[in-house]
Amino acid sequence: MSRSRGCPYNSRMELLAELERIVHTEQSMFRAQLLREDIARLKKLRALAQAEADAEAFRKSGMRLGWTPGDARTLELREPLEKLLDRVHAYEHGAQGPEQEARITEAWHALHRVRMERLLGCLATPVPRPAD
């Protein structure tokens, strides 16, 4: 892996700051745990992006951070996850500022929505179809 001159490691990504604020006030233990796991994933993602100048190599590594249990269903998240990966990589390699922060947050919310639909949908009890 190559080391790039991306943004300084201690610079603050707004999405991470927002999630860290939310986790401290979250009343649901389930949601708080998911937030802690997501914060850890995003920190790993930033570290990967800072260490890997090659966007395609970063994307491959970033796809395997446990976005779903054992990454068994991560391919179902490919489209929104790749958008997030591309935006985080760009951020860590110089594309900073409020517009890029907004793109990262937008990609995060899209990924989170799809991931929750997939993960929670598989936990739902199937409802029988109504008879016509």
Answer yes or no: is pLDDT of 111 > 80. yes
pLDDT, mean of residues 112-126: 71
Q: Is residue 31 assigned to a domain?
A: yes
Integer Cα distance of 85 and 23 in angstroms: 23
In a domain, 1, yes or no: no
pTM above 0.85, yes or no: no
Nearest to 68, CA basis, from 76, 60, 58:
76
How far apart are alpha carbons 11 and 73 in whole angstroms?
A: 32
Residue 73 contacts by C-beta under 8 Å, 6 or more apart in sequence?
118, 119
Q: What is the mean pLDDT of residues 12-37?
A: 92
Q: Is residue 9 part of a domain?
A: no
Tell me, yes or no, whether 8 lies in a domain. no
Structure tokens at 125: 């009890």
| Residue listed under structure tokens 């179809």 | 129
Two structure tokens written together for 62? 């970033």
Per-residue confidence band for 128, with pLDDT thresholds at 50, 70 and 90:
low
Give the total number of structural domains in the chain: 1
**105, 19 Cβ separation under 8 angstroms:** no
Question: Is 131 contained in some domain?
Answer: no
- 107 within some domain: yes
Structure tokens at 104: 């990262």
Q: Specify the higher pLDDT residue, 43 or 3.
A: 43
User: What is the pLDDT at residue 126?
Assistant: 56
Position 57 pLDDT exceeds 70: yes
More confident call, 67 vs 123: 67
Q: Look at residue 3 and tell me if it is in a domain.
A: no
Per the domain annotation, does 49 fall within a domain?
Answer: yes
Domain residue limits at 43: 14-121
Average pLDDT, the chain: 85
pLDDT tens digits for 69-86?
888 888 989 999 999 999
